[in-house]
C-alpha cells in the first residue's frame, strides 16, 4: 500500500476514437491497479475519474466514492466517447471543476497534494501549454502518461517539473499494466516519516517528497509545526457554563459552586433546596440558601431565639401606627378605629364627622399695583396656611386660585392639583400682576369659569359647599354689584376680606348673608388682628317656618370647619406681623437717634 498520507487524485483518461475497445480495457486495468495500492477513504486518499474526447465527461468526483469496490464498479461501467482529442479542454475541466472543494477536493490550507494523471494515446487537437501552466500554478501536480502514438512534446508541455519524474511514454497498451507498478513507486515515493527524523510530538503524516505533523484530538499544533498544546475549550467564552468551566482534552465540562448541582442541560446550576429534605423544623417558612437554610416568620410575627418558632407581634406597640383615636392589633397586622359617630377616613388613620370640611374653594386675590410686592407675598402665605388645614384630594377638598388686576388670570383650576403640597408649590410660583383693580371682572370670571364642572367644581347635587373668598385692597374700577349678586344666587358662599383702601360698601355687596359674618376689613396688612373677631361660627342657615333646610348637617359642618381654620391662620399671620412691625419701629428709632448724634457733632 501507498502510505505517504492523503492525496486528491483525478485520472484524466483519453477515450478518443483512436483508442480501440481492447486498448481501453487495458486503461481500465491501469487505473484499478493503481487504486488497488492506495489507502482510500474520506480522510485518506480520494479518487476521481473523468474521460474526454471532443467533450469532457465526469465519471465520478472526489467526493463520490470512498471504497475501492465502488470505484472499480464505476470504472468498469465507463463507455468510451470515441470522438476527437481535446486534451486542453479536459485539463481546464479538471482545474475548474474536478479539483474544486464543491466536488470533494480538500481546501489548500489542509496541505493535501492535488495530483492529475493524464493518460493519452495521440496528439491534442487543442492547445495545452497555457492551460496546463495555469493548472500547475493552481497547485495541481500533473503526471503525463503517453501510450504508443502519443506526442512527446505535448506530454512535456503538460507535465510538472522535474519532467523526468512526471513524463512517461509506454510503447504499447500491452505494456501499460507492467508500467503501473513502476508508476506506483513514483507516485508513492519515499515515506519521509520513516526515512527522516521528523520531530513530530504526536504523529507524522507523509506526503510525496515531504511530511507534516498532526496532533491528537484535544490538542492544537504550535507555530513550530511539530509540538502540540492542549486546546483550552473554555478560553473562548462560548462554553455557556453558569459557574465554572473545566477544560478536558480539547473539550470542557461545567461545574457548579458549593451548594448547587448541575442541571440536565449540563451548563446551568440549580441551588440545592435544603428545605425540601424535611428536617428544618421551621414553624412558618423555611428559606434555602447555598450550603444551608434559615427559618422565617410570616408578616406580623417575630422569630424566637431558637431560630425556628414564631410569635405574633403587637404592631400597635411596636410601630408608629398613626391612628388618631385607637389602634387595634390583629394576627400579624393592625387597624385603626374611630369613636362612635365618627368615620375612618380614606387614609385609614384619621377620624372625622361628615366630610371633614370638604369644600370647593376658589380664592380670588387682588394683584393690583397698590398691593405692593412684599404684601402680595403675605397674601400668598395666607393662602398656603389655609391649604395646610384642608384635606385636599379629588374626593375631599378642591382648591382653585384666581388673580386679578386690569385683567383676570386663573392661576390653577379646582381640578388641577390633588394634594396640598402641589397647591402650595403652585401658590408660591404665582407672579404678581400689578396694574388696575377690576374686581367685577374677577367675580364674573369666578362665576362663569372657576365654579364650572369643566374646571373641577362638583355638581350641586353632591351637596359640596362652594366657597368664594375675595381678597382686595382698594376700590374696584368696574361695577361689582351684578356679578356679586349672581355669585350668591348660584349658591356660592362669598367671603370678602378688605385691607387698606378697600371700600366697605363693595365688601358688603360681595359678602353673603348675614353680611357681618362674611366680611372683614383691616387698615393695613400688618394690623389684621381684628379680622379674627369678625368671623362667626354660626354660618349655617336656620330652618325657616314651614320650609326645610336646604343644606345638610354635613355641609354646615364643612362650612364651620373652613371658617374656623381660616380664623386660626389669620390670627397666626397677624401675630407674626405685629412682631415684625415692632422690630421695624425699634430700628427706626435707633436710626433717628444716630442722625441726631451726627448733627450735634457738626
| CATH number of the domain to which 286 belongs | 2.10.25.10
State whether 296 and 428 are in the same domain: no
State whether 374 and 523 are in the same domain: yes
How confident is the chain (602 residues) per 10-residue block, as mean pLDDT? 73 92 85 85 93 96 95 95 94 96 93 91 91 95 86 92 85 64 61 78 78 86 91 82 86 90 92 87 90 86 88 75 83 76 73 62 91 86 78 87 95 94 94 91 95 92 86 89 93 88 88 84 58 36 34 54 63 61 70 75 64
State whether 71 and 176 are in the same domain: yes
C-alpha distances in Å from residue 1, one per residue of 27, 37, 184, 191, 459: 21, 5, 10, 11, 108
At residue 189, the pLDDT reads: 58
At residue 385, the pLDDT reads: 78
At residue 96, the pLDDT reads: 96
State whether 435 and 512 are in the same domain: yes
Provide the number of structural domains found in the chain: 3
State whether 286 and 142 are in the same domain: no
First vs last C-alpha separation in the chain: 136
State whether 456 and 371 are in the same domain: yes
Q: Note whether residue 256 is domain-resident.
A: no
The CATH number for 174's domain is 3.40.50.410
State whether 374 and 464 are in the same domain: yes
At residue 537, the pLDDT reads: 35
Q: How far apart are CA 279 and CA 239, in angstroms?
A: 37
Closest CA to 455 of 463, 446, 465, 443: 446
At residue 590, the pLDDT reads: 74
The DSSP secondary-structure symbol of 432 reads P
State whether 307 and 384 are in the same domain: no
State whether 59 and 121 are in the same domain: yes
Which uninterrupted H or E stretch holds 154?
helix 152-158
**pTM as predicted:** 0.38
Q: Note whether residue 143 is domain-resident.
A: yes
At residue 528, the pLDDT reads: 47
Q: Note whether residue 54 is domain-resident.
A: yes
Q: Are 215 and 224 in contact (CB under 8 A)?
A: no
Q: What interhelical angle do 21-36 and 68-76 show, nearest 10?
A: 170
Q: How far apart are CA 330 and CA 268, in angstroms?
A: 44
Q: How far apart are CA 460 and CA 469, in angstroms?
A: 19
Q: Which residue range forms the structural domain that includes residue 370? A: 360-539
Question: In 53-129, at which residue ranges do the beta strands (DSSP E only) sit?
Answer: 56-60, 114-120
Helices (H), 340-400: 373-388
Q: Note whether residue 486 is domain-resident.
A: yes
State whether 374 and 304 are in the same domain: no
Q: How far apart are CA 540 and CA 549, in angstroms?
A: 9
Amino acid at each position: 500500500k501507498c502510505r505517504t498520507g492523503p492525496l486528491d487524485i483525478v485520472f484524466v483518461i483519453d477515450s478518443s476514437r483512436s483508442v480501440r475497445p481492447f486498448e481501453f480495457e487495458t486503461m481500465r486495468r491501469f487505473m484499478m491497479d493503481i487504486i488497488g495500492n492506495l489507502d482510500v477513504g474520506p480522510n485518506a486518499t480520494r479518487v476521481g475519474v473523468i474521460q474526454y474526447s471532443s467533450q469532457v465527461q465526469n465519471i465520478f468526483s472526489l467526493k463520490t466514492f470512498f471504497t475501492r469496490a465502488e470505484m472499480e464498479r464505476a470504472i468498469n461501467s465507463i463507455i468510451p466517447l470515441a470522438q476527437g482529442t481535446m486534451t486542453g479542454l479536459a485539463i481546464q475541466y479538471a482545474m475548474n471543476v474536478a479539483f474544486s472543494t464543491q466536488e470533494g477536493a480538500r481546501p489548500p490550507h489542509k496541505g493535501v497534494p492535488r495530483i492529475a494523471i493524464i493518460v493519452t494515446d495521440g496528439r491534442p487537437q487543442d492547445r495545452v501549454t497555457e492551460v496546463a501552466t495555469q493548472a500547475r500554478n493552481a497547485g495541481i501536480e500533473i503526471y503525463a502518461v503517453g501510450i504508443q502514438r502519443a506526442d512527446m512534446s505535448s506530454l512535456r508541455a503538460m507535465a510538472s517539473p522535474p519532467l523526468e519524474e512526471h513524463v512517461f511514454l509506454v510503447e504499447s497498451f500491452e505494456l501499460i499494466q507492467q508500467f503501473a507498478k513502476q508508476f506506483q513507486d513514483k507516485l508513492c515515493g519515499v515515506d519521509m516519516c520513516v526515512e527522516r527524523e521528523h520531530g513530530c510530538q504526536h504523529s507524522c503524516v507523509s506526503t510525496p517528497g515531504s511530511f507534516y505533523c498532526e496532533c491528537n484530538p484535544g490538542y492544537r499544533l504550535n507555530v513550530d509545526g511539530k509540538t502540540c498544546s492542549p486546546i483550552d475549550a473554555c478560553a473562548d467564552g462560548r462554553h455557556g457554563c453558569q459557574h465554572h468551566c473545566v477544560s478536558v482534552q480539547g473539550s470542557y465540562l461545567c461545574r457548579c459552586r458549593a451548594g448547587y448541582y448541575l442541571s440536565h442541560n449540563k451548563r446551568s446550576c440549580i441551588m440545592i433546596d435544603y428545605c425540601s429534605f424535611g428536617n428544618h423544623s421551621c414553624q412558618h417558612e423555611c428559606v434555602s440558601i447555598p450550603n444551608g437554610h434559615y427559618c422565617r416568620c410570616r408578616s406580623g410575627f417575630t422569630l424566637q431565639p431558637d431560630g425556628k418558632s414564631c410569635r405574633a407581634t403587637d404592631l400597635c406597640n411596636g410601630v408608629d401606627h398613626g391612628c388618631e383615636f385607637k389602634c387595634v392589633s390583629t394576627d400579624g397586622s393592625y387597624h385603626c378605629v374611630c369613636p362612635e359617630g365618627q368615620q375612618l377616613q380614606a387614609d385609614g388613620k384619621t377620624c372625622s364627622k361628615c366630610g371633614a370640611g370638604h369644600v370647593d374653594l376658589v380664592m380670588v386675590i387682588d394683584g393690583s399695583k397698590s398691593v405692593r410686592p412684599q404684601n402680595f407675598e403675605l397674601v400668598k402665605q395666607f393662602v398656603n396656611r389655609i391649604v395646610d388645614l384642608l384635606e385636599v384630594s379629588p374626593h375631599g377638598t378642591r382648591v382653585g386660585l384666581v388673580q386679578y388686576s386690569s385683567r383676570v388670570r386663573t392661576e390653577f383650576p379646582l381640578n388641577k392639583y390633588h394634594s396640598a403640597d402641589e397647591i402650595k408649590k403652585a401658590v408660591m410660583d404665582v407672579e404678581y400682576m400689578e396694574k388696575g383693580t377690576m374686581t367685577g371682572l374677577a367675580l364674573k370670571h369666578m362665576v362663569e369659569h372657576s365654579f364650572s364642572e369643566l374646571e373641577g367644581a362638583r355638581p350641586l347635587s353632591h351637596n359640596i359647599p362652594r366657597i368664594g373668598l375675595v381678597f382686595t385692597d382698594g376700590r374696584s374700577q368696574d361695577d361689582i354689584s351684578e356679578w356679586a349678586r349672581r355669585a350668591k344666587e348660584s349658591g356660592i358662599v362669598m367671603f370678602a376680606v378688605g385691607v387698606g383702601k378697600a371700600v366697605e360698601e363693595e365688601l358688603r355687596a360681595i359678602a353673603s348673608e348675614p353680611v357681618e359674618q362674611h366680611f372683614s376689613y383691616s387698615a393695613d396688612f400688618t394690623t389684621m388682628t381684628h379680622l379674627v373677631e369678625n368671623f362667626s361660627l354660626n354660618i349655617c342657615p336656620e330652618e325657616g317656618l314651614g320650609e326645610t333646610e336646604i343644606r345638610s348637617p354635613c355641609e354646615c359642618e364643612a362650612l364651620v370647619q373652613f371658617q374656623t381654620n381660616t380664623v386660626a391662620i389669620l390670627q397666626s399671620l397677624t401675630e407674626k406681623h405685629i412682631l415684625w412691625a415692632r422690630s421695624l419701629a425699634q430700628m427706626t428709632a435707633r436710626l433717628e437717634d444716630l442722625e441726631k448724634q451726627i448733627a450735634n457733632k457738626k
